[in-house]
Amino acid sequence: MVDRLNATAQDLELLVRFRRDLHRIPELDYDLPQTKRYVRGVLESLSCEVFSPSASCICALFDVGNAHTVAIRADMDALPITEATGVSFASEHEGRMHACGHDAHMSMALATAVWVDALVRDCPGALPRNVLFVFQPAEETTGGAKRVCESGVFERYKVDRIFGFHVWPDLPWGTVASRPGALLARSSETHITIHGQSTHIAKTYGLHDEETHDAALAAARFLVSERWLMRRLQQDEPCVAQFGLVEAGTVCNAVAGEARLAGSLRVFSDEMFERAKAELTSTLEMACSETGCTYEIDFAEGYPPVTNDAELYAACESALPELTRIDDPLLIAEDFAFYQRYVPGVFFLLGVGEPEVDGSCGELGHATCALHGDTLMFDEHVLLRGISVYRQLLQMR
Cβ atoms of residues 353 and 177 within 8 Å: no
Cβ atoms of residues 61 and 131 within 8 Å: yes
Rounded CA gap, 75 and 395, in Å?
A: 23
Q: Which amino acid is at 146?
A: K
* Dihedral-angle region of residue 36 (phi above 0 means left; psi in -120 to 50 means alpha; beta otherwise): alpha
Rounded CA gap, 183 and 150, in Å?
A: 23
Q: Is 309 known to be catalytic?
A: no
- Which one of 83, 103, 117, 140 is the catalytic residue? 140
Cβ atoms of residues 22 and 103 within 8 Å: yes
Q: Which amino acid is at 209?
A: D
Rounded CA gap, 35 and 60, in Å?
A: 15
- Which one of 27, 75, 309, 379 is the catalytic residue? 75
Q: Which amino acid is at 127?
A: L
Q: Is 140 known to be catalytic?
A: yes
Measured between alpha carbons, how far apart are the two ends of the chain, in Å? 22
Q: Which amino acid is at 161?
A: R
The residues carrying an active-site annotation are 75, 140
